[in-house]
Chains A and B, each alone.
Chain A
Amino acid sequence: MPTLTIDNQTITVPEGTNVLEAARQLGIEVPHFCHHEALGSVGACRLCAVEFLEGPVKGIQMSCMVLAKDDMVIDTGSDGVLAYRAQVIEWLMTNHPHDCPVCDEGGECQLQDMTVAGGHGVRRYTGPKRTYQNQDLGPFIAHEMNRCIQCYRCVRTYQEYCGGKDFGVMGTRQRLYFGRFSDGPLESPFSGNLVDVCPTGVLTDKTYRYKSRIWDLQEAPSICPHCSLGCAVIPGARYQELQRRRARTNRRTNGHFICDRGRFGYGYVNHPDRPRAPLLGHRRVTWQEALAALQNHLHEFCELYGSGSISMLSSSRASLETQFLTKRWANALGSGQLCFEAHPRRDQAARVAASQAPDCSASMEDIRSCDMAVLVGADPLAEAPMLALALRQAARRGARIVVVDPRPVELPIDCERHAAAPEELPRILQGLTRPQQNAFASASEEFGGALGRALLEAKNPVLIGGSDLLGPQGCQMLLKAAEACSPTGSTCRSMLLLAGPNSFGGAMLSDDGPGFDALLEGMEQGRIKSLVCIEADPVADYPDRKRCRAALARLDLLVVFDCAATATVQEADLFFPTTALEEAAGTLVNNEGRMQAFEKVFSAGTPLLQSAAGDHPPRFFSRDIPGSHPQPAWTTLARLLGRDAELEKVRRELEKIDPRFDGLAGLTADSEGCRVVAPRQAPALVAAPASGVTASDQLHLLVTEHLYGSELLSDLSPCLQAVKSDPYVWLHPQDVARLKLVEGKPVRLCTSLGEWTLELRINGDISPGVAVVPRLRGTVVETLVPGSEPMLCRIEKA
């Protein structure tokens, strides 16, 4: 641990820390462009020079390239250093177009800051500037090469960190070009990070182009709601419009980056079809009227049929506070008919996930630093995109990554793939739970055993499972396997991918409560007369849509609280508009059990562009802000419970009632979050029904998540429509030949739930005997829901 002196302050830093980082720990920011905490030091920009006065290195050197050593005495602001840095800025600015007034980076531009800070006010160079042709890089990223200062951060992010191959650096000397071989959309699902890493306005957010300056944005630390990982983000809003999202740093979860689904999925907040006023039937009513109707009805049901006739459903989209108050309200009404997930298998799987010991669950940071990871039935890019990036960082450090899956799981790394049939997965997990066993009953178990032995030999192994494919039983086996594969003195950590950003929180609060199946049965039998859906969409999420619709149709009252125009909202008798995540504060518990608070970014309201019909400013007077009726679900629940709508109080109450949530009340949104302190009890599961392919023309149908188009909220974002796929089915070439089908031609998918015509795609990485259909909302296959019970299907020529 070297001790050194920087600007008369002494600091001791870990071995291997460079001087730039050591200075940063003292709060001294050495100007730099090419260095980035996640990308490391490369010594290209030469801006971070400091003067070494004493110690093994002398003179002006680049602080990012010199490791801190004992007895170093450093001046970060000597006259020589300042003169040199000003020269570097002058060099970088010789060809810069100085187009700050029309540049989206203005105000948050590192080059602008450094130029001002470095004192470079007059351009002495009066010669011609080099110029470039820009490229169309697709719907997400705008390209303005003339502004480039060649820091190489973009290529290092895109190629090295994210594993993208279609964007790079071309040319030499002062004619470098950062782009693609030719125009075209960037292929990496992490391309948006180019916006964050570019220190100037070369690569900017195309969806945010010409909208705002950063100082006009309302920003606050928030959490991405588009999968169960809970990545840290900073949304930015102006004129009642959520205009962008950028990555926030949380070293335990996402690190410095986010995926494109998270970055560009924000549009749901501004969706023109978003219901913004309370509705009684299809009639717009005031909050008072709606609340009075709700209370009257529920009172009536209690009187007539007892409190058991009232049921409640929340979801993994709802904040912990909303879920908690939903539970309190159900209790207050005396109803035990409450659950937090409309999809019964996902519900059970989340309850299993919440039963893992907090110190055994893997964070994304654990995954980035693991030396072996085995993924069973997990498709990171579709189910939790940033997990793919975490695995890539592990692989870059030499970790062994093994993917066991019937699907053609794509990852931005070279890894070992084992195309296992769906029925093999339980046997492989069985083997994993007994790594020490000598003889196994089947080759699949033997394979699992071998993987288990490799995990036992690793230093920091991780076992990752996808809850949709594994189901609750598989998830439970995976947790057992992780326990069995823990090397002495270390832990094989586990991570289960869940359905939504707060699946874990809902599972914690569920305890032994009923699943939605039980609620549906109650509706079908007529025992349950009313259902209150709080940010839940059972019509779309329950695997059997027909059954769900029929059951809901029997209700006397369907109440829906939501921020999006979901399928269930269309059926509601009484509707309450709720705020989007960015419009209120709250807490989410991610798939590792990490509680993370998020702040309110802005107040709900119809974006000015919509309410003013394109005019700016609007030409009418209004007593209130148009579209500002949505309320946080938890505040409405607090009102219904007759108490103050104070977030602090709700958090303190939850912490007090349930010590597993210890630390909740003290959480701040800009922290790394904290894990729930104790696991919930493992749920009792019924054995999974065995499914076998009976007829030779039958295939296993796997409905799976897709990067774009599966997740409810991001699918409402207009800019993601451009990258959404048309519906298709994936088959193995063997099956295609056997069934005499032709690639690219439409085929007919026949299941017990219905029949659909889809495009046929062939993939050799898929397990034979399996048909993979991605769930794509708003298409013909919308009603197919991932994570369902194993299903069989036939595929024939259309």
Chain B
Amino acid sequence: MRSCEPLLFKNRRAEGPVFLEGYRKNGGYQGLEKALRGMSPADVREEVKASGLRGRGGAGFPTGVKWSFFPSDDAGEKYLVCNGDEMEPGTFKDRQLLLADPHHLLEGIIISCYALGIGTAYIFLRDAYRECAGNLERAIDEAAQAGLLGDDILGSGFSCEIHVHRSAGRYICGEETALLNSLEGLRPNPRSKPPFPAIKGLFGRPTALNNIETLANIPHIVTGGAAWYKSLALTEQGAGTKLYGLAGHLETPCCVEAPIGMPLGELIRDFGGGVWKNRSFKACLPGGASTPYLTAEHLDVALDYEPLEQVGTRLGTGGVVVFDDRTCMVAATLNLLRFFARESCGWCTPCRDGLPLVCWLLERLERGEGTREDLTMLQEQLSHINGRSFCALALGAMGPVDGLLRHFAEEVEDHIRMGRCPLQD
């Protein structure tokens, strides 16, 4: 069993969260000290860019590149917004991090603010994460008391404040521009891009938006250096470690930290305890509900951005949801699509009206009422929704449909031919 020295989970204890004392004892805030005392903001940005860190919120955009678009050196109000609206089904990694070690995120935010010349940061947190919000608020108080947050941090002259904002609880609030509207007290409809948030974001000001896990990696990149960080991955092009949520039909569902690039099968076997009840592996969502399925033939695929793209899916959030051989993939897809249709903000037609139509078609197929025309219609929905919606919600929503039609076409056909779900007794 391969494992790695944990970075983000290094303070994760069964007995509960670690706060300032425990965090500092284990090397906490050394990255901040190093950055403030020995590095210029540009140095930090350069290091992050060199590290190859990619966004952990789902889209996987290189963090250093994203930061390079940010007007770090411009005067005036700028914001950092930490996206903690972790609402993708199958994804619970950020929650585990905050439950274990809230200072980890704070240190990442403070260093990032320093690197980007930002004085105010907001943590936009999923509504259900009450305990995490409590942990963060306590950690913010502690950090402020210790001079790690607020005015003149560690005597460096750099000042920064962090606010926790709890979401009103919609999946769309995780879309970065909808998040900004929500934070401003507006309807969480996505904004059109350009202008991108880095230029015109929160309250019309330049805004850096990063996921919790992404930001929590920053202290380690600063402390250990870009080359070391990059070397942690098992793949050539990969960098660092990743938090994986293992859920579904597994013996031991869990959240683990493993190097980027660990093969899917190995992760499922070594950490998830294999498929439950001695059943066999049928499929999985590799990175949350919006990523197309992988099947048994993909168990050797490395869990890294490029290799997953090559097999037609995405690393997403790293939320691996496993389905055993008794799962009806039409039913599973319908279940996922119901979530997405419900969470559409209602702004654009393909998402608002297209997803319910997809649900209706899947319902017909699952009930055994589906026809060949319905299947054609489903295929049309896939091609017409993908890439034509206002934001990425509908694109993500169609991920499972894409996987279903690519990998389980025969199973769908069986539903039509038999006039019932073949997996139901």
Contact = CB atoms under 8 A, between A and B. Distances in A.
Interface string A47-64: 101000000000110000
Contact of A46 (B172, B342, B349, B356): B349
A91 B357 contact: yes
Contact of B349 (A42, A91, A125): A91
Give the interface residue-count category, chain A. 20 to 34
B170 interface: yes
A95 interface: yes
Contact of B346 (A91, A124, A127, A174): A174
A626 B349 CA distance: 52
Which 3 A-B residue pairings sit nearest by Cβ, starting from the closest?
Answer: A91-B353, A173-B344, A87-B384
B34 interface: no
Contacts of B353: 91-92, 94-95, 150, 174
Interface size range of chain B in the complex = 20 to 34
A60 B386 CA distance: 11
Nearest to A130: B356
Interface of A: 42-47, 49, 59-60, 65, 83-84, 87-88, 90-92, 94-95, 124-125, 127, 150, 152, 169, 171-176
Contacts of B387: 59-60
Interface of B: 170, 172, 187, 192, 341-350, 352-354, 356-357, 360, 373, 377, 380-381, 384, 387-390
Contacts of B348: 43-46
Contacts of A174: 341, 344, 346, 352-353, 356
A59 B384 CA distance: 13
26 contacts: A43-B348, A46-B348, A46-B388, A46-B389, A46-B390, A47-B349, A60-B387, A87-B384, A91-B349, A91-B353, A91-B354, A91-B357, A94-B353, A94-B356, A94-B357, A125-B357, A125-B360, A150-B346, A150-B349, A150-B352, A152-B347, A172-B170, A173-B345, A173-B352, A174-B341, A175-B346
A42 B192 CA distance: 7
A197 to B, nearest CB: 18
Query: Which of A83, A87, A90 gathers most chain B CB within 10 Å?
Result: A87
Contacts of B342: 173
B390 A43 contact: yes
B388 A60 contact: yes
A47 to B, nearest CB: 7
Contacts of A90: 357
Nearest to B363: A127
B346 A171 contact: yes
Contact of B344 (A124, A169, A172): A172
Nearest to A67: B194
B311 to A, nearest CB: 23
Contacts of A124: 373, 377
Given A43-B192, A91-B354, A172 B346 contact: yes
Nearest to B187: A169
A211 B380 CA distance: 42
A334 to B, nearest CB: 69
Contacts of A91: 349-350, 352-354, 357
Contacts of B384: 83-84, 87-88
A125 B347 CA distance: 21
Chain B's interface: helix, strand, loop or mixed, by majority? helix
A776 B323 CA distance: 75
Scoring B187, B343, B353, B381 by chain A CB atoms within 10 A of each residue's CB, the highest score goes to B353
Contacts of A88: 349-350, 384
Contacts of B373: 124
A152 B356 CA distance: 19
A61 to B, nearest CB: 9
A173 B337 CA distance: 13
B208 to A, nearest CB: 24
B360 A127 contact: yes
A798 to B, nearest CB: 46
B346 A46 contact: no
A171 B414 CA distance: 38
B357 A172 contact: no
A262 B421 CA distance: 62
Nearest to B347: A44
Given A47-B349, A49-B388, 11 more contacts: A42-B192, A43-B192, A46-B348, A60-B387, A60-B388, A83-B380, A87-B384, A173-B342, A174-B344, A174-B356, A176-B352
A337 to B, nearest CB: 63
B357 to A, nearest CB: 6
A45 B388 CA distance: 10
Contacts of A43: 192, 348, 390
A94 B345 CA distance: 18
Nearest to B188: A172
A154 B421 CA distance: 44
Contacts of A65: 192
Contacts of A49: 388
A174 B342 CA distance: 8
